[in-house]
Structure 1
Amino acid sequence: MLFRWLLAAVHLLAFGFALASILGRSRLLRRCATTADLPAVFRADAGWGLSALVLVITGGMRAFGGFEKGGDYYIHAPLFHLKMGALLLILLLEIAPMMALIRWRVALKTGKTPDLSRAGRFARVGTLQTVLLVVMVVAASGMARGIALAAGAG
């Protein structure tokens, strides 16, 4: 019981850290004009990546590791599908910013100047990811309260 509680707490805290990190990265990317701005962007990005990893691991453990209601419950819950759909979109949207930030890190380490022209675009992607993260939290809170999104459910 104690482990389930701690696992749930870590999972919920990771949502808070993820939200703060992606908002911070987006804000920093919006203002990113020179390579001097990149260390702060990289720190926020690392926080985003770490919190996302914690979310995926703790979420997987909770849903399919026998610590919560069980995989069968989640597989048949429409809100779980909404939550996983939002997660999938977040991950797909992350591909371009992640690849660019990796290239920027490599460029800096090799003494080159990275092309920061897409920083604003990546900030907008982060804003969309923020909305999807909120969708995940809303779906999770509905699942925790047993809300069903089926015809005739109320």
Structure 2
Amino acid sequence: MSSFFAFLHHVAAFALVAALSVEFVLIKGDLTAASARKVRLADLALGASASTLLVVGFLRVFFFEKGASYYFHSVPFIAKLSLFVLLALVSIYPTIVFQSWEKALKQGRVPSVDPRKLRAIRTVIHLELVGVVLIMLFAALMAHGVGYLG
């Protein structure tokens, strides 16, 4: 069962990176009604994969793997979890903007977006991508026992 949850955790992580990459590519160019719809779908996939990653990750921490006592004495784990939560909070802004496009898209129009908002969204997506790389670093450190305080 532990292997199955490890598999689910990895699938969710790869899905998260894929969804974030799709958002990155689509928001980079000129916004069209079609690309706006795709961005919204990618953001939905991002949210679903992040939720799955968090739930499965906590199941692994508390019921499978090495146990909560081990993980909560690991500096890289705490850093990884903290960064994940921070990125989740930062990602609320793009999601709210993407959701605000619904009315225009239902009318077949391109959503009107202030260029400053688009720059801010691009910045958030860049930060999320950097954050994912750092999370992978923390995961590797954690897996090798670096920073364990027990």
TM-score range, shorter chain: 0.7 to 0.9
Match of 1:70 in 2: 67
Match of 1:89 in 2: 86
TM-score under structure 1 normalisation?
0.85
Q: Does 1:45 align with 2:37?
A: no
Q: 1:79 aligns with which of 68, 76, 96?
A: 76
Q: Distance in 1 between matches of 2:104 and 2:58?
A: 35
Question: Is the Cα–Cα contact under 8 Å of residues 71 and 77 in structure 2 kept in the other structure?
Answer: yes
Question: Is the Cα–Cα contact under 8 Å of residues 18 and 48 in structure 1 kept in the other structure?
Answer: yes
Percent identity over the alignment is: 30
Match of 2:130 in 1: 131
Match of 2:19 in 1: 21
Question: Is the Cα–Cα contact under 8 Å of residues 78 and 149 in structure 1 kept in the other structure?
Answer: yes
Question: Is the Cα–Cα contact under 8 Å of residues 73 and 148 in structure 2 kept in the other structure?
Answer: no
- The structural deviation recorded for 1:100 is 0.9
- The structural deviation recorded for 1:68 is 1.4
Match of 2:100 in 1: 103
> What do the CA deviations read for 1:113-144 (whole angstroms, capped 9, x no partner)?
63322233212211110111111111112212
SS at match of 1:73: helix
1:146 alignment partner AA: G
Unaligned stretches of 5+ residues in structure 1: none
Q: Distance in 2 between matches of 1:134 and 1:6?
A: 24
Instruction: Please give the residue correspondences for 1:113-124 in structure 2 after superposition, counting only pairs within 5 Å.
Output: 114-117=111-114, 118-124=117-123
> What do the CA deviations read for 1:20-52 (whole angstroms, capped 9, x no partner)?
110110221121423232122122212211211
2:13 alignment partner AA: F
1:129 alignment partner AA: E
Q: Distance in 2 between matches of 1:38 and 1:45?
A: 10
- The structural deviation recorded for 1:111 is 6.6
Q: Distance in 2 between matches of 1:95 and 1:47?
A: 14
SS at match of 1:89: helix
Number of residue pairs matched by the alignment:
147
> What do the CA deviations read for 1:56-87 (whole angstroms, capped 9, x no partner)?
111111112x2111111111110111101211
> What do the CA deviations read for 1:84-104 (whole angstroms, capped 9, x no partner)?
121122112111111111111
Match of 1:148 in 2: 147
Please identify runs of 4+ aligned residues in structure 1 that moved more than 6 A.
none
Q: Distance in 1 between matches of 2:119 and 2:102?
A: 17
Unaligned stretches of 5+ residues in structure 2: none
